[in-house]
A and B are shown apart, each in its own frame.
Chain A
Amino acid sequence: MLTNIIEQLLNGLRTGSIYALIALGYTMVYGIAKMINFAHGDIIMVGAYALYVAIINMQLPAIPAVLLTCVTCAVLGVVIEKVAYKPLRKAPPLAVLITAIGVSYFLQSASLLIFGATPIPFKSIINVPAVKLGSVTVSGLTIVTLIVTTVCMIALTLFINKTKAGSAMRAVSEDKGAASLMGINVNRTISMTFAIGSFLAAVAGILYICQYQSLRPTLGALPGIKAFVAAVLGGIGSVPGAMIGGILLGIIESISKAYISTELADAIVFGVLVVVLLVKPSGLMGKNSTEKV
């Protein structure tokens, strides 16, 4: 029984840390551009297909393929911001929101055109043997996922809090005009945020596809929306909030699937969100503000 609980917790931690990586993109972009980038989930999908192309069509080894995937997504994130969102910097939030949904459909339709609707099987590129700790078996994928996400989160936290570019980012998210008076290039800082968010989404996409091993144009939708929930749960705009929200969500989901009901797991996850928002509308780590999304 205990073994089983620990294994379920580890599964939850694995899924949750993937959600957390994606949630970081939502929360950082929200912090700096004050918009919900609903196309963010589809970056995961693009990442998955990019990895597929790099491995299968270009025959690249795993590490260069992963790097290429991450760079592709980071560039795509920047391009999307420049083309679709930047012209709307002064537009009402609803226009931006609808544009983001439009970009999301655009990306899905583009991959539908290129790769077709039939799911493509994909073999995991992570071939690490499972480890047995006492009676608990930890899969290689879980180990790699936890290491990769931990490294990403520590690196991001250090970047945001300890570097000049990181403090410029925080300054822009707080007051663009004042940041500009300091000599900070606001547009470049926003681009950088999109690049980092999309890079993390690519990492999440790679880990996700190694877990599910099947490619569809809509594969980003569900992890995307779950990660959005995680970001809101943690407090949108808060970086540690996104990490905690993601992991919490993954664990709740995994425990509900194992011990309550597979069908009800998603309902329970969203139910938790509703309860948290009723008690603390700004999310677990969010600042109290009256801003409308």
Chain B
Amino acid sequence: MAMLKVTDLKVYYGVIQAIKGISFEVNQGEVIALIGANGAGKTTILHTVTGLIPPKNGRIEFEGKDITKLQGHKIVSLGMAHVPEGRRVFASLTVLENLKLGAYTRKNKEEINASLEMVYKRFPRLEERKSQLAGTLSGGEQQMLAMGRALMSKPRILLMDEPSMGLSPIYVNEIFDIIKQVSAEGTTVLLVEQNAKKALEIADRAYVLETGNIALEGKASDLMNNESVKKAYLGE
């Protein structure tokens, strides 16, 4: 059974149809990439899955449970964390406060502290800057904070929206290494990325989105060698 299963999803912004009937699946342990140009609907899909936008039609199932109509704030406690596009860290809160909000729905203090230790181990820079306001961090550090904050909820699936956006190449490599590590430790990853090359390198399977439709899908390694993908997204 698929861990996350999206069936015939349709999403509208007013009268404009952004998502035109998309179906995809994410299996336990996979890294799945959704790639496509600006405006293809990648972010909209993630927002719909985590309840920030209501779909017009379709069904979203997580671990067999229908979450299509579930309110956004109830999603995270099911084990699904979303690192939004543009990081969206709470700029006027400290790094530590941001991380603690990541564990907002968890009750056990000891377990939360254990998660905090793990996040600090993965992102030593966050520990160095824990009492600094998040707004004063660099873009790369904010991306780390957004990831750390999401990991604080101990998710079984991590949804990541454009983690490489606006980052220097060094940070991009670092972030993708961390995604690989997170995946190796057993967290399923659904990755939305414009940087198709990077995304296909770490993904198991991928879906190529074009203006609200899935144009192609398959193994990441196959898509990397697909002529039209090469031409349109890999710049070869």
Contacts and interface: CB of A to CB of B under 8 A. Distances in A.
A171 B90 contact: yes
Interface stretch (B68-76, B193-201, B222-230): B68-76
Given A164-B104, A183-B77, A183-B105, A170 B92 contact: yes
Interface stretch (B16-24, B56-64, B94-102, B162-170): B94-102
A168 B91 CA distance: 13
A171 B93 contact: yes
B84 interface: yes
Given A170-B90, A175-B90, A178-B88, A185 B73 contact: yes
B2 interface: no
A174 B75 CA distance: 20
Nearest to B153: A183
A175 B91 CA distance: 10
A171 B92 CA distance: 9
B100 A181 contact: no
Interface in A181-226: 181-186
B194 to A, nearest CB: 20
B104 A180 contact: no
Instruction: Classify chain B: how many residues form its interface, as a range.
Output: 20 to 34
A180 B51 contact: yes
B52 interface: yes
A181 B82 contact: yes
Given A164-B104, A178-B84, A178-B88, A186 B93 contact: no
Given A167-B101, A168-B101, A175-B88, A181 B93 contact: no
B73 A183 contact: yes
Nearest to A178: B88
A167 B97 contact: yes
B97 A181 contact: no
A140 interface: no
Contact of B73 (A164, A170, A186): A186
B50 interface: yes
Contacts of A183: 73-77, 104-105, 153
A175 B92 CA distance: 11
Given A164-B104, A177-B88, A183-B104, A170 B76 contact: no
A177 B149 CA distance: 15
Contacts of A167: 93, 97, 100-101
A182 B104 contact: yes
Contact of A181 (B72, B91, B92): B72
- Report whether over half of chain A's contact residues are helix, strand or loop; otherwise say mixed: helix
B52 A180 contact: yes
Given A167-B93, A167-B97, A182 B102 contact: yes
Given A180-B72, A180-B73, A181-B52, A168 B104 contact: yes
Interface in A123-176: 164, 167-168, 170-171, 174-175
Contacts of A179: 90, 101
B15 to A, nearest CB: 16
A167 B91 CA distance: 12
Contacts of A170: 90, 92-93, 97
Given A180-B51, A183-B153, A174 B91 contact: yes
B90 to A, nearest CB: 5
Nearest to A166: B97
B51 A174 contact: no
Given A164-B104, A167-B100, A182 B76 contact: yes
Contacts of B75: 181, 183
A178 B51 CA distance: 11
A171 B84 contact: no
B67 to A, nearest CB: 14
A177 B81 CA distance: 13
Contacts of A174: 90-93
A167 B170 CA distance: 33
A212 to B, nearest CB: 38
B76 to A, nearest CB: 4
Contacts of B91: 174
Given A167-B101, A183-B77, A183-B105, A178 B72 contact: no
B92 to A, nearest CB: 6
Given A171-B101, A182-B73, A184-B73, 17 more contacts: A164-B100, A164-B104, A167-B93, A168-B104, A170-B93, A171-B93, A179-B90, A180-B51, A180-B73, A181-B72, A181-B76, A181-B81, A182-B104, A182-B153, A183-B77, A184-B104, A185-B71
12 contacts: A174-B90, A174-B91, A174-B92, A177-B72, A179-B90, A180-B51, A180-B73, A182-B76, A183-B77, A184-B101, A184-B104, A185-B71
Of all A-B residue pairs in the complex, the 5 with the closest CB atoms, nearest first, are: A183-B105, A183-B76, A180-B72, A178-B88, A182-B104
